[in-house]
Chain A
Amino acid sequence: MNDTAEIYDQGEYNFAYLDEQTKRMIRRAILKGIAIPGYQVPFASREMPMPYGWGTGGVQVTASILGKDDCLKMIDQGSDDTTNAVSLRGFFEKTAGIRTTYETSEATVIQTRHRIPEKNLTENQVLVFQVPIPEPLRFLEPRETETRKMHALEDYGLMHVKLYEDIAKNGHIATTYAYPVKVNDRYVMDPSPTPKFDNPKIDQMEALQLYGAGREKRIYAIPPYTKVKSLDFEDYPFEVQKFDKPCGLCGAENVYLDEVILDDKGGRMFVCSDSDYCEERRAEGHAGPMAADPAAIQIGGATVEETI
Chain B
Amino acid sequence: MSVFMSEEPLLQVHNVTRYYGDRIGCSNVSFDLFPGEVLAIVGESGSGKTTLLNCLSTRLAPTAGAIEYRMRDGSMRNLYQLTEAERRLLMRTDWGFVHQNAADGLRMNVSAGANVGERLMAVGDRHYGNIRATADDWLGRVEIDSDRIDDDPRSFSGGMRQRLQIARNLVTRPRLVFMDEPTGGLDVSVQARLLDLLRRLVADLGLSVVIVTHDLAVARLLSHRIMVMRQGNVIESGLTDQVLDDPREPYTQLLVSSILQV
**So, do A and B actually touch in the complex, CB under 8 Å?**
yes
Does the CB pair A140–B128 fall under 8 Å? no
* A52 within 8 Å of B (CB atoms): no
Does the CB pair B121–A161 fall under 8 Å? yes
* A234 within 8 Å of B (CB atoms): yes
Q: How many residues of chain B have a CB within 8 Å of chain A?
A: 24
Interface of A is mostly: helix
Which of A149, A169, A233 is packed against the most chain B CB atoms within 10 Å? A233
Does the CB pair B88–A168 fall under 8 Å? no
Q: How far, in angstroms, from A155 to B131 measured CA to CA in the complex?
A: 18
Which of A156, A164, A234 meets B117, CB within 8 Å? Answer: A164
Does the CB pair B128–A233 fall under 8 Å? yes
Does the CB pair A153–B150 fall under 8 Å? no
* A243 within 8 Å of B (CB atoms): no
**Contact A164 to B131, CB < 8 A, known contacts A153-B85, A158-B118:** yes
Which of A149, A168, A234, A236 meets B150, CB within 8 Å? Answer: A168
Which of B85, B109, B127, B149 meets A233, CB within 8 Å? Answer: B127
Q: How many residues of chain A have a CB within 8 Å of chain B?
A: 20
Which of B88, B111, B126, B127 meets A165, CB within 8 Å? Answer: B111
Which residues of A have CB within 8 Å of B129? 235
Q: Interface 1/0s, chain A 191-232, versus B by CB < 8 A?
A: 000000000000000000000000000000000000000001
Which of B84, B85, B114, B123 meets A164, CB within 8 Å? Answer: B114
* A157 within 8 Å of B (CB atoms): yes
* A46 within 8 Å of B (CB atoms): no
Which of A140, A149, A169 meets B107, CB within 8 Å? Answer: A140
Which of A164, A167, A235 is packed against the most chain B CB atoms within 10 Å? A164
**Contact A164 to B113, CB < 8 A, known contacts A153-B84, A169-B150:** yes
* B214 within 8 Å of A (CB atoms): no
Q: How far, in angstroms, from A236 to B132 measured CA to CA in the complex?
A: 13
Which residues of B have CB within 8 Å of A157? 92, 118-119, 121-123
Which of B109, B111, B127 meets A234, CB within 8 Å? Answer: B127
Does the CB pair A168–B107 fall under 8 Å? no
Residue on B nearest A164 in the bound complex, by CB = B114
B200 to chain A, nearest CB (A): 28
Does the CB pair B118–A236 fall under 8 Å? no
Q: How far, in angstroms, from A167 to B122 measured CA to CA in the complex?
A: 17
* A160 within 8 Å of B (CB atoms): yes
Within 8 A of A (CB), among B181-197: none
A236 to chain B, nearest CB (A): 5
Q: Interface 1/0s, chain A 145-172, versus B by CB < 8 A?
A: 0000100110111101100110111000
Which of A149, A155, A168 is packed against the most chain B CB atoms within 10 Å? A168
Residue on B nearest A236 in the bound complex, by CB = B128
**Contact A155 to B122, CB < 8 A, known contacts A164-B131, A168-B111, A233-B128:** yes
Does the CB pair A233–B118 fall under 8 Å? no
Which residues of A have CB within 8 Å of B114? 161, 164-165, 168
Which residues of A have CB within 8 Å of B150? 168-169
B87 to chain A, nearest CB (A): 10
Residue on A nearest B87 in the bound complex, by CB = A153
A176 to chain B, nearest CB (A): 18
Q: How far, in angstroms, from A232 to B126 measured CA to CA in the complex?
A: 8
Residue on A nearest B83 in the bound complex, by CB = A153
Q: Interface 1/0s, chain A 3-37, versus B by CB < 8 A?
A: 00000000000000000000000000000000000
Within 8 A of A (CB), among B81-127: 84-85, 88, 92, 107, 109-111, 113-114, 117-119, 121-123, 126-127
**Contact A235 to B128, CB < 8 A, known contacts A153-B84, A164-B117:** yes
Does the CB pair A149–B84 fall under 8 Å? yes
Q: How far, in angstroms, from A153 to B123 measured CA to CA in the complex?
A: 12
Q: How far, in angstroms, from A234 to B92 measured CA to CA in the complex?
A: 22
Which residues on B are within 8 Å of A, measured CB to CB? 84-85, 88, 92, 107, 109-111, 113-114, 117-119, 121-123, 126-129, 131-132, 149-150
Which residues on A are within 8 Å of B, measured CB to CB? 140, 149, 152-153, 155-158, 160-161, 164-165, 167-169, 232-236
A-B contact pairs, 10 of them (CB 8 A): A153-B88, A157-B92, A157-B118, A157-B121, A161-B117, A164-B114, A164-B117, A164-B121, A164-B128, A168-B111
